[in-house]
Amino acid sequence: MHTPTMADIRRIALINNPVLRNVLITQSYYELSQIIMSRTGAAANWCTYATWASKQAGQSIRKEDLRRTLEARVDIEVLSEFQALIAMAAEMGIGSSIRTRLHALVKNSLFIRVVDKISEAVAKGNKKVFEEIGFEFARFIATCFDNAEPDLQRCDLFCREMRDGDPPDGQQYLKRAFTNYYTGFFERDEQLRLEKLLLANLEIGFHEQTRLQPEILDSLNAAFTGKETFRKEVVDFLFPPGSWLSQVRFLYLKITGKTSRLEAAIDRLIVKLQHLVRKQITACLMTLNLPHETLLLSKDLQRTYPKVLSSLSCKDLVELMEKIDTTPESLKESGAEDWADLTDRMHFITELFRCYQFDEQLYQPAFKPEQVAAMKRGEVPMRW
């Protein structure tokens, strides 16, 4: 098993191709996860979950899932706002083939722009988390991992290189997390050891999700950007700038006040499309494919807590749970209603980490050996 080094993390983070960078990030998380488990035993660490979250992010980065979803589920033809615009254009004498061409414009302008923006935001977040947290895992393994006996001074020196304060700017939660991982290596009380591992996972999760808030908002709100650009494209489509006849018609409609009705109809169509697209974006981004199941993040988890984690006694863990889990002893309302809301998001993640800490399916590799070999050569592997 390759051990990702700090140099590896920096090199991967600098790769310009977001698709290649993503698969290497995903593979690195898997390798880091396996190495951490060599000290903790078979229990998921933060990198275990990050492996599958990063692989899921790859779908959005490659623009595979969302474009297909938008085209399949946003039926422009049936929208009353679309029908009204077509009727108004016909009334104004603007071409008979407008329906098909306007439909194509929506698909090839609005949809593509939204998908591109989401791909960019997800890729940015994927890189941002990896070059910070992935780097700290590599540094932790290089600095503290091989101690046969606890050396708290060494762990403290490791933590001092991280910034004080809360996220998004401070790294206090990362300091606490790696200290809990480290002391957990030597903890003889098995119950406390496993609770410390969960605590460390949640502390990194809280730091990560706080840092990712801007990119998550950008992704979910991608449909509400570029409204003026799309509006101009529709107007230019109806009245081509290079056509003198079209421009004469536009000026006539403007003088008579009829363009205001047309522009209002265009705006109503845009608003409707934005809300429909936002709904589909949310559905896509709130899905997590694990090796053995697909989780809809808006739905309550259908699991039970592992017996060893059904009742928590670690003081620091209980205090953190009270802060980030609104139902700390129940999976009720674990589904996130609004993924853009940090509190709602952390509630789901907290329950996920607690329920799946010993799920061996998560320890599987994310890629086949031949795919790993390809990406290590700097190639994007074949579809998986």
The per-residue pLDDT for range 298-326, each reduced to its tens digit, is: 999 999 999 999 999 999 999 999 888 87
- The least confident of 102-106, 158-162, 183-187, 346-350 is 102-106
Q: State yes or no: pLDDT of 7 exceeds 70.
A: yes
Indicate if the pLDDT at residue 41 is higher than 90.
yes
- At 222-251, the pLDDT tens digits run 888 877 888 888 877 777 777 765 666 667
Mean pLDDT confidence for 147-162:
94
Per-residue pLDDT tens for 323-340?
Answer: 888 787 888 888 988 888
pLDDT, mean of residues 2-26? 97
Position 223 scores a pLDDT of 80
For residue 101, what pLDDT is reported? Answer: 79
How many Å apart are CA 198 and CA 24, to the nearest integer? 26
Residue 12 inside a domain? The answer is yes
pLDDT the model gives residue 117: 92
Segment 27-54 mean pLDDT: 97
CB 57 within 8 A of CB 92: no
Q: pLDDT class for 192, splitting at 50, 70, 90?
A: very high
Residue 48: the pLDDT is 98
Residue 292 confidence (pLDDT):
94
- HSE toward the beta carbon, residue 354, CA cutoff 13 A: 31
Q: Which of 286, 339, 118, 113 is nearest to 218 (CA)?
A: 118
Mean pLDDT score of the chain, rounded to an integer?
Answer: 90
Bridge-based pairing state of the strands 294-296 and 287-289: antiparallel
> What is the CA angle 314-355-367, rounded to 5?
120
pLDDT of residue 161: 97
Whole-number pLDDT of residue 89: 77
pLDDT in tens, 100-153: 878 888 878 888 888 999 999 999 999 999 999 999 999 999 999 988 899 999
- Residue 384 domain-assigned? no
Q: What is the SS3 assignment for 287?
A: strand
Which CB contacts under 8 angstroms, 24+ apart, belong to 305-309?
305/331, 305/354, 305/355, 306/354, 306/355, 306/357, 306/358, 308/190, 308/191, 308/194, 309/194, 309/195, 309/198, 309/354, 309/357
Residue 383 included in any domain: no
User: 260 or 332, which is more confident?
Assistant: 332
How many CB atoms lie under 10 A from the CB of residue 91? 11
Q: Average of pLDDT values for 282-303?
A: 91
pTM of this structure = 0.89
Percent of the chain clearing pLDDT 70 (strictly above): 94
Predicted confidence (pLDDT) at residue 15 exceeds the cutoff of 80? yes
Whose tokens are 């300091």? That residue is 175
Segment among 78-82, 230-234, 244-248, 274-278 with least mean pLDDT: 244-248
Q: How many domains does the chain have?
A: 1
Q: Which position has the higher pLDDT, 176 or 252? A: 176
**Tens of pLDDT, residues 49-72:** 999 999 999 999 998 778 888 888
Amino acid at 175: K
Residue 62 phi, psi dihedral angles, 5° rounding: -80, -5
Give the domain range for residue 260: 6-377
Does residue 341 lie within any of the structural domains? yes
Residue 382 lies in a domain: no
At 383 the pLDDT is: 67
Residue 253, pLDDT score: 65
pLDDT bracket for residue 220 (50, 70, 90): confident
Q: Has residue 384 got a pLDDT over 60? A: no
pLDDT value at residue 96: 59
Residue 357 lies in a domain: yes
What's the chain's Rg over C-alpha atoms? 25
Q: Which residues contact 151 (CB under 8 A, 6 or more apart)?
A: 144
In a domain, 238, yes or no: yes
At 295, phi and psi to the nearest 5?
-100, 130
For tokens 């399916």, the residue is 361
At CA 186, angle to CA 135 and CA 4, rounded to 5? Answer: 20
- Residue 1 resides in a domain: no
Q: Which of 112-116, 197-201, 216-220, 249-253 has the highest mean pLDDT?
A: 197-201
**Closest by alpha carbon to 158, among 174, 204, 209, 166?**
174
